[in-house]
Chain A
Amino acid sequence: MMIETATEPRAASPLRGKRILVAKPGLDGHDAGAKVVALAMRDAGAEVIYTGLRKSPAYIARVAIDEDVDAVGLSILSGSHKELVAETIAALKEEDAGDIALFVGGTIPAEDIDALIEMGVRTVFTADMKLDDVVDAVAKALA
């Protein structure tokens, strides 16, 4: 007797098989938000790497490339998001990794969001967003 494939759906893991780097560039010293997002990604099935605090864009790009991640999520609360995003994108492009999807979260004023998207950020997440919506947006972008 051969086993036929089960028809029941398996547990939903929208990010299963995806590798995601959650990174903290710049000088702000708060990573509660980054950690919450990292755990939400994990629970959605992703393999998540977290950098720890105060990393340079060059460091983040190096880790993203070595770990061959599908996406990088930058958590920035310091206000210097435009500079840090520009530097991270430049560092990724320099190593032929401009195709890695970039997401940004943190305290980003509404008027800056368009500029970040213009620079190449896929989605900007603000603190009032639900975690499920963050996961869904990442899953959709990586599908």
Chain B
Amino acid sequence: MNARAQMTLDRRALGRALSRAANASVEEILAADAGEAATRARRIGVTGPPGAGKSTLIAALARYRLEHAGRVAIIAVDPSSSKTHGSVLGDRIRMDRLVDDPRVYIRSLASRGASDGLAENLPEILAVLDDFGFDEIILETVGVGQSEFAVRDLVDIELLVMAPGAGDQIQAMKAGIIETADIYVVNKADQPGAARAETELRAILTMTAGSAPVPPIIRVQADTGEKMDELDAAIEDCVRRRKEGDADAVRRGRHRVKGLIVRRLNEVLLDMPVALEGRPIREVYDAVMDTLSQRTGP
């Protein structure tokens, strides 16, 4: 049991520790790490297309999750501009009513150089939350790109959220993306087309599941809280059935090293000299690989 879980949360210290983790260079991470520690907090990933209502859903869900967890952290990722590096972190505005609750901690992250729908240094950031004694972490992805795949590596339970009228989204998701989640949520149940979205989703999932059981599909209305108890129960059911396996640690480890290499690669590409422009691709490739293979820092 983590001693820190029993203590009053030092929000200032946690805020600063998270900034240090987010800003750590590749070299700093490599130097500080003494091997993969076991994760402590249960991790729930929430993914789905923009406008599906992920933030509102998390705000409603956190209330229920506090029945099972003493302390809940919410990490919400928003995209960074690749041009200016700037970002507007707007998810927490929909989680307003949680701010008064001392058991909840919300942190907004900019994706920075990560292009997988998550954020740079996310494994390190999640480790800080473990260290501060959180029981559960809810992670909201950017919701575009391949975030459904990437988040799978880091979380114990994955929720995929969709809104009605998402027929095109379902089409786009058919090619495998949709298979990764543990629980599927059709949000905005009051809107026309909600029942149809659920039916379509069920058809696709039944097809992909084959002889395996079809994962739960729950139609909720996050802004009024309708059916949120069912979603919470489905999560609890997942928690009970889930067994931590070696495969989880392997996936986490791979995700982590890939994140560091991608960061380093981005740095190398950014510094690529103009002299290489127009050179044969083999020469450029070899130059990049040479540079990557050099140890960075001291």
Give the chain B neighbours of A83 by CB distance below 8 A: none
CA distance in complex: A40, B14 (Å): 29
Give the chain B neighbours of A46 by CB distance below 8 A: 86-87
Interface residues on A, range: 35 or more
- Mark interface residues in B168-211 (1 if CB within 8 Å of A CB, else 0): 00000000000000000000000000000000000000000000
Within the complex, the shortest CB–CB distance from B187 to chain A, in Å, comes to: 21
B27-35, B149-157, B269-277 - interface stretch: B269-277
* A66-B11 in contact (CB<8A): yes
* B86-A1 in contact (CB<8A): no
* B19-A68 in contact (CB<8A): yes
* B273-A4 in contact (CB<8A): yes
CA distance in complex: A1, B268 (Å): 13
Interface residues on B, range: 35 or more
- Nearest-neighbor residue (CB-CB) of A52 within chain B: B93
CA distance in complex: A67, B15 (Å): 6
* A13-B11 in contact (CB<8A): no
A57-65, A113-121, A124-132 - interface stretch: A57-65
B39-47, B101-109, B139-147 - interface stretch: B101-109
- B12 interface residue per 8 A CB criterion: yes
- Mark interface residues in A92-111 (1 if CB within 8 Å of B CB, else 0): 00011100000000000000
- Nearest-neighbor residue (CB-CB) of B105 within chain A: A66
- Nearest-neighbor residue (CB-CB) of B86 within chain A: A42
Give the chain B neighbours of A48 by CB distance below 8 A: 86-89
* A66-B19 in contact (CB<8A): no
Within the complex, the shortest CB–CB distance from A135 to chain B, in Å, comes to: 11
Which of B12, B80, B110, B272 has a CB less than 8 Å from the CB of A97? B12
Give the chain B neighbours of A2 by CB distance below 8 A: 287, 290-291, 294
CA distance in complex: A66, B100 (Å): 12
* B11-A65 in contact (CB<8A): yes
- Mark interface residues in B1-42 (1 if CB within 8 Å of A CB, else 0): 000000000011011101100010000000000000000000
- B224 interface residue per 8 A CB criterion: no
- A136 interface residue per 8 A CB criterion: no
Within the complex, the shortest CB–CB distance from A36 to chain B, in Å, comes to: 12
Give the chain B neighbours of A62 by CB distance below 8 A: 11, 99
Known: A42-B84, A95-B11. 19 other contacts (CB 8 A): A1-B286, A1-B290, A3-B273, A3-B291, A5-B271, A6-B274, A13-B84, A16-B86, A38-B88, A41-B86, A42-B88, A44-B84, A45-B86, A47-B86, A47-B87, A48-B87, A51-B93, A66-B11, A66-B105
Give the top 6 A-B pairs by smallest Cβ distance, nearest first: A68-B15, A42-B86, A3-B291, A47-B110, A68-B19, A45-B85
30 A-B pairs with C-beta separation under 8 A: A1-B287, A2-B287, A3-B276, A3-B288, A5-B271, A6-B272, A6-B274, A8-B274, A11-B83, A17-B23, A19-B19, A39-B88, A42-B86, A43-B86, A44-B84, A45-B84, A45-B86, A46-B87, A49-B92, A50-B93, A52-B93, A59-B100, A62-B11, A63-B92, A65-B12, A66-B14, A66-B15, A67-B15, A67-B108, A95-B12
